[in-house]
Amino acid sequence: MIFIDVLNGVRVIPKRDTYMQEGRSRQVKRGIFTIVVLLIAVVAFSGCNKKPLPTQAEVLPPPPPPAAPIAQLTATPTVISAGDQVQLTWRTMNATSVIIDGIGSVPTAGVKTVTPTQSTTYHLVARGEGGSADASARVTVNAPVAVTVPVTTITPEEEFKANVQDIFFDYDTADIRSDAQATLQKDANYLVSHPDIRVVIGGYCDERGSNEYNLALGQNRADATKSALVEAGVADGRIRVVSYGKEKPFCSDQNEQCWQLNRRGGFTMAR
Amino acid sequence: MKAPALLRAFLPALICILVFVSCAGIGAQDWVRTGTNLSNTTIRLAASDFKPVGADPQTPTLKSVFDATLAKDLDNAGIFEMVSKSLTPQSMPGAPNEIVLSQWSADPANAAMVAFGALSVNSGKLAVYGWLFDTRNTANPQVFGQQFNEAASPEMARTIAHRFADAIIYRLGGGVNGIAETKIYFVSSRTGSKEIWSMDYDGENQQQITHLGTIALSPRISPDNSRVAFAALGDGGWSVRMYSFDLGRLVSFPAGTAGGSNQSPAWSSDGAKIAFSSARSGKPEIWVADASGSNLRRLTAFGTDTSPSWNPRTNSQIAWISGRTGLPQIYIMDMDGSNVQRMTDGGYAVSPNWAPNGGLLTFSWNRKYGPGDPGGQDIYVMDIASKRWLQATHESGSNDFPAWSPDGRHIVFERTIGGHAQIWSMLADGTHQQQLTHSGNNFMPNWSLK
């Protein structure tokens, strides 16, 4: 029904009137024919509507091509702050389908309220039998006032990672290196001051050597790391150890830099 | 009955090694070739293509599977000089009265023995008749004949070929059972996680056993083939787990879970006990428990001890690796922890596996180990009594986890080339190397005991 109403509404162009009227109401046209036939009264003929007489040309001109659609789109207001509303208003003619980008199919005329979060150009495309037309409306969104209150987004895990750092080992040994002592002291300090945290120490090895022996070696590395923490005052019961051997490498290249990264005692928070 | 026969079979191999090694001198050995449970003279054997009988449409397929499997099994055995099929007679004898022995004993075949027979499919059943004939004994040539009846399928054609091959190997190979029906258990990461898999001894029929989605390592099949023990990483660390083939699921092994760091299980050859490494007392040590998980006791006390392997002939000794002096070395000890002997004199020696005859060890060794001294990680075979050894792999990838076949003639091992690990097998002297896996990465093979 809306569709037909729209078509009727479109017929405001005078030139199209005769054609559209003929198309719309055959009943009226047949009445005119009957009168004409009676007036002339020469012979009765059939199929008169298919074969109009020359005199009928003034009454029924040949149908013109379908008219091109016309579209109009406005936004009110055109400048807003983030979070404010904008009213989009659109009208079209000769259109059978209307689409607004980002909104989808809409009636051929209407009003819609939108809340853009950033500057947006709304773009409308109207399609009809006579082609298509488009229209656009630009809404400028001014940025909101910046929040000046700093937000703490660091999670307990991130804080743990930042304060409890992994230590590294020399090749084929579980001895704590001198450069690991300072790291371990910092790790222990953090853990002592956060007595609720439980920790898992993973023992890791580089890819060289045998899987089973590396599991034993990784166990020794994890144990050595644990002993150092316990010596520095972390309660034994808060620490669990697991050897990953060479099964869970951090780095898979075949060079000393990568192997060093994989020879470690690694800390994670226990779940 | 069997022990003397085995001894007889192994003795020449031992003598052979000792003689060879003493001639060459220790430490100057490279590319040494010697027999390991392989006899000095090989029998020239011809395997005829089997004669198809009847017109069943399945026959050609099953015949080609059977012929190929039989020829491969006999070649793999390592004790025959196989006659190339291009040199064998055109005739395809299907029964004793159809074979002309002179055709096989004469050049170019020049076969001392010939295996032949017939194959037919009838109403879904595959029937195979096989014979082994001695070509030089024209008066009474039959060594044995055997008949097989199984469902007509490619798997059963392979199985029949395995059984016939094993029967030939048993008769001609000094009474040692063949290995064509044995299986190899291994770790594969082809599904994305390291799981336990199995395959036939020749690499066929690969099947996934575990689906744990974590890391499973070190599979060891029980001597009766009913269970496979392995190590798996769980929430509480590493446990020795047990999968039962009878029940199709994991079964309890309580000794393997405590302490959270249990790995590298090893069955005694009678299936009664399991040795493994556990750090429950602090450092990784060798422990032993009954297969049920009870009667747990510790055997070592120095730390970094792992990878035990039983002397399968006596079950009274264990070989293992220890890092007690630095780099890992191979040691052996008695079951009460006494009589500890270090077997390797340096380098990086891991993954010992004790031979079925009780006299040999195989292990992985990098003799020139360390920064600036890059040697190869290769498979070695050592005579325990003399500590003399031969190198079985040379200049080909990094080799680890050797494991003996039950006949003591073969070794299966892991070889990594360019970051890709695959399972290979070879004769125990290093010859006849062949790759068994090709899909994904595959590790840590273990050979079933039967």
pLDDT digits (tens, 9 = 90+) for B222-252: 999 999 999 999 988 999 999 999 999 999 8
B403-425: pLDDT as tens digits: 999 999 999 999 999 889 999 99
Q: Do domains B40-172 and B183-447 have the same CATH topology?
A: no
B113-143: pLDDT as tens digits: 999 999 999 999 999 999 999 999 999 999 9
pLDDT at B99: 95
Q: How many folded domains does chain A comprise? A: 3
Residue A90 structural domain: 70-142
Residues A215, B306: C-beta atoms closer than 8 Å: yes
pLDDT at B179: 96
Mean pLDDT of chain B: 91
Indicate if A165 and A187 belong to the same structural domain: yes
Nearest CA in chain B to A252: B419
For B306, the closest of A216, A240, A241 (CB atoms) is A216
pLDDT at B394: 94
What are the structure tokens assigned to A234, written together? 């972390």
What is the C-alpha to C-alpha distance for residues A117 and A110, in angstroms, rounded to an integer? 22
pLDDT at B368: 87
Shortest distance between the Cα of A210 and any Cα of chain B, in A, equals 7
Q: Is residue A147 part of a domain?
A: no
The separation between CA B73 and the C-alpha centre of its own chain, rounded to angstroms, equals 13
Q: Bridge-partner residues for B290, per DSSP?
A: B273
CATH number at residue A162: 3.30.1330.60
pLDDT at B30: 46
Residue B279 DSSP symbol = -
Range A115-134 burial, b when 16+ CB lie within 10 A, else e: ebeeebebbbbbbbebeebe
Could you tell me the pLDDT band of residue A8, with boundaries at 50, 70 and 90?
Answer: very low
For A242, the closest of B194, B218, B260 (CB atoms) is B260
ipTM computed for the complex: 0.87
B277 and chain A in contact, CB less than 8 A = yes
Task: Count H helices and E strands in chain B, helices first.
Answer: 4, 30
Interface test with B, best of A171, A208, A211, A217 (most B CBs within 10 A): A211
The CATH homologous superfamily of the domain defined by B183-447: TolB, C-terminal domain (2.120.10.30)
Is residue B219 within 8 Å of residue B230, measured between CB atoms? Answer: yes
Residues of A at the B interface, defined by Cβ within 8 angstroms: 171-172, 209-213, 215-217, 219-220, 223, 240-244, 247, 254
pLDDT at A53: 47
Indicate if A160 and A246 belong to the same structural domain: yes
Q: Is residue A150 part of a domain?
A: no
Domain boundary among A113, A142, A171: A142
What are the structure tokens assigned to A192, written together? 């002592």
How many C-beta atoms lie closer than 10 Å to residue B61's C-beta?
14
Residue B259 DSSP symbol = G
Indicate if A19 and A79 belong to the same structural domain: no
A210-224: pLDDT as tens digits: 999 999 999 999 999
The CATH homologous superfamily of the domain defined by B40-172: TolB, N-terminal domain (3.40.50.10070)
Shortest distance between the Cα of B304 and any Cα of chain A, in A, equals 5
B259-279: pLDDT as tens digits: 779 999 999 999 999 999 999
H-helix or E-strand spanning residue B263: strand B262-267
Chains A and B form CB pairs within 8 A to the count of 86
**Among B32-36, B93-97, B233-237, where is mean pLDDT lowest?**
B32-36
pLDDT at A57 over 80: no
Domain coordinates in residue numbering, chain B: 40-172, 183-447
More confident residue, A144 or B98: B98
pLDDT at B39 over 90: no
Indicate if A175 and A123 belong to the same structural domain: no
Q: Is residue A82 part of a domain?
A: yes
Report chain B residues whose CB lies below 8 A from the CB of A220: 283-284, 303-304
Report chain A residues whose CB lies below 8 A from the CB of B215: 247
Distances (CA, A) of B141 to B148, B309, B394, B414: 21, 44, 43, 43
Indicate if A41 and A88 belong to the same structural domain: no
What are the structure tokens assigned to A29, written together? 């046209």
Q: Is residue A149 part of a domain?
A: no
Average pLDDT over residues A81-87: 81
Indicate if A166 and A111 belong to the same structural domain: no
What is the C-alpha to C-alpha distance for residues B410 and B381, in angstroms, rounded to an integer? 11
Residues ≥6 apart with Cβ < 8 Å to B236: B257, B260
Average pLDDT over residues B280-309: 94
Dihedral sign from CA coordinates of A51, A54, A57, A60? negative
pLDDT at A62: 66
Residues B263, A247: C-beta atoms closer than 8 Å: no
pLDDT at A43 over 50: no
Q: Ranked by mean pLDDT, which of A55-59, B244-248, B256-260 comes out on top?
A: B244-248
Shortest distance between the Cα of A2 and any Cα of chain B, in A, equals 59
For B277, the closest of A216, A244, A254 (CB atoms) is A216
Q: Is residue A63 part of a domain?
A: no
Indicate if A239 and A177 belong to the same structural domain: yes
For B279, the closest of A171, A219, A254 (CB atoms) is A219
